[in-house]
Amino acid sequence: MAPVRLRHPKGMATIQIPFDNSEFTVQDLQQEILKATEILPSRQLLKTGYPPRGLDLVPELPLSSLGLKSGDQLIVSEGAESAPRLHSKPASSVVSQQRPSAPTPSSRPSARTTSTLPPPTPPTASSGAPVHIDTDGGVLIHRIVPDDNSCLFSSVALIFEQDMNKAQKMRQTVADGIKKDLETYNEAILGMPPSKYIETILKPSTWGGAIELTILAAHYRTEICSIDVETGRIDQFTPTTDHGGMRCIVIYSGIHYDAATLAPMLEAPFEWHQTMFPITSPDTSDSVLVAGKKLADALRSKKAFTNTSTFDLKCEECGQGLKGEKEARAHAEQTGHTRFGEY
C-alpha cells in the first residue's frame, strides 16, 4: 500500500492505494475517493501533473491506465453526473538529508547570504488581489510572506511544509546541513567560522541567501528557483545527488523573498495550492519557469522591487542618511546600530 493525498472541497485526506496489485481498478480508486470525500464516483473530477492533465476515468480499467504513482496528490472536485474528469496534483516533498554542493558566485541570487541588519519594508504591488498569471494549468500566484528578517525561510516553509510559521525549522535545517558537511561549508565559503555562522543563522534577525537555498534544496531533494523581479534572472539551486525531479519557485525583490504557488483558480483556498512542480526541462524553458518569469515581469511593471545598491536608507537610531546596503553595513559595523528604514 502507498499513500495518495487528496485535496477536495472539504479539505485534505490521504488514501492508501495498492499500486503493485494489478487487479486494483479505477473503480476501486473511485470507491476510496468516495470514502474520503463523499463525492460519488459518477461525479468525481480529477487532474494530475503540471500542467494538470485530465484523467479519463474508465472504471473497468486497471489503475495503471491512469499513470499515477505513489506520492501523487489529487485535487478532487464534484461535477455533474457522468461529467468529464477534473483535478489533481503532483507529489509533495520527501524529506531526506543530502550533501549540498558549495554555492558559487554564478549561482547566487542578488540577496546577501546573511546579515544582522533588519530589512527595510519590501515594495508591494497595490491591488486587492495578489499578483498572478493565468496558465494552462491554473493560476500562478504571488504568495506574500511577512516582511521580517525570515522571509526566505518563511517562503521555503510555505512551499515544503505548507506553513510559513515554520521559518525557524528551516533555519535549523540549514544549521544541521552545515554541521553535517563542514568540508563544504568551511570558513572560506561562509565568511566566518562555521560555529559562528550557525549561531548567526539561527537568530530570527538574520537574513538568508544563496547558501541557505543550496542547503534547503539538497535537504528537500527539490530544485529551488529564485526569480529576480528587477532583472528577470532565474538562479537554479539544484541538488547534486538524489534529485527528486521536482522544482519550486521563490520570488526575490532585492530585499525580500516570497513564494509562487499554483492554484486551480484565484479564489481557491491555500490548501489547494500546488507548491512544487515536476521538472519537464532542465533549463528555464520549463513551462512553470516561463510562467514564473511572467509573474516577475508583472511585479516589475508595478515597481515591486528594490535596487539594494542605490536605495535610500535612514538609520532609525541616529537619523543618518545612507545610500544602499553597502553603506548601511559599514554604518552598522562602525556604530552598532541595526535599525534601518527605507525612504
CA distance 173 to 248: 18
CA distance 332 to 306: 20
Q: Is 148 a catalytic residue?
A: yes
Q: Which residue has the cell 568551511?
A: 186
Q: Is 337 a catalytic residue?
A: yes
CA distance 96 to 176: 12
Pairing verdict, β 312-315 and 340-342: antiparallel
Q: Which residue has the cell 542547503?
A: 215
Q: Is 147 a catalytic residue?
A: no
Active-site residue (options: 8, 87, 256, 331): 256
Q: Is 258 a catalytic residue?
A: no
Q: Which residue has the cell 476501486?
A: 28
The sign of the CA dihedral 113, 238, 106, 157 is: negative
Phi, psi of 245 (to 5 degrees): 75, 20
- Give 163-220 as a DSSP string: -GGGHHHHHHHHHHHHHHTTTTS-HHHHSS-HHHHHHHHTSTT----HHHHHHHHHHT
Active-site residue (options: 8, 72, 87, 151): 151
Enzyme catalytic residues: 148, 151, 256, 337
